[in-house]
Amino acid sequence: MGKKSKEKFEVVEGETIDACLDRIKAAGYFPVRRTEEPIFAEEIENGKVQYVPVDRKIVFEVKLIE
């Protein structure tokens, strides 16, 4: 059985977006959509809980190059 026609690639910590795109291309895929999700940290200030964005997760949806 061959590769999946659709796949998801996540930009890992310490990796640039360009490096992730190179990894996608080397695996035989091309990106069709990029999504970003914020990562929040919980902070308590004056007895109130606040959620502060600290990072983001970037995920590429890709399709197989035919």
Burial of 6 (0-12, 13-18, 19+ CB in 10 A): exposed
Prediction pTM value:
0.78
Tell me: the pLDDT tens digits for 6-62?
Answer: 999 999 999 999 999 999 999 999 999 999 999 999 999 899 999 999 999 999 999
Sequence-distant (≥ 6) Cβ neighbours of residue 43 within 8 angstroms: 49, 50, 51, 52
Provide φ and ψ at 26, rounded to 5°.
-65, -30
